Amino acid sequence: SYDVHVYFFQTDQAQLRQARELQDEIRGKFPQFKIKVWDKPIGPHGIGNFEVNLMKHEDFVEFVTWIPLNRRNFSVLIHPNTGNPLRDHTAHAMWIGEKQVLNLSVL
């Protein structure tokens, strides 16, 4: 499986609104995906983000080709879930947009 994290500044009302709009768009286009929302830093993620879980190869292909063109200006982290969270969030990770600083000490 893969996780796609879309980052937003949780204290910026305009970004919160745009993040919610993007979540709604994703739910409409990809109703099979589970989305988790964090409006504060959590784990290695230093700002708010929402996570889209991709469980099947077809989901990965469809979403990872869609999100670069539809992410607005949000930073996006795509990483596998191999059981090694440190490597998944670093060596195995892909970024779209500006790379965010992660707190790797929690991994």
- For the stretch 30-57, pLDDT in tens is 999 999 999 999 999 999 999 999 999 9
**CB 49, CB 38: distance < 8 Å:** yes
CATH number for position 79: 3.30.70.1240
Domain that holds residue 9: 2-96
User: Does residue 102 lie in a domain region?
Assistant: no
pTM of the model: 0.96
**CB 44, CB 89: distance < 8 Å:** yes
What is the pLDDT, as a whole number, of residue 54? 97
Binned at pLDDT 50, 70 and 90, residue 90 comes out as very high
Helix (H) or strand (E) holding 70: helix 57-70
Binned at pLDDT 50, 70 and 90, residue 67 comes out as very high
Q: Looking up tokens 């707190």, which residue turns up?
A: 103
Q: What single DSSP character describes residue 19?
A: H
Counting the structural domains of the chain, the total is 1
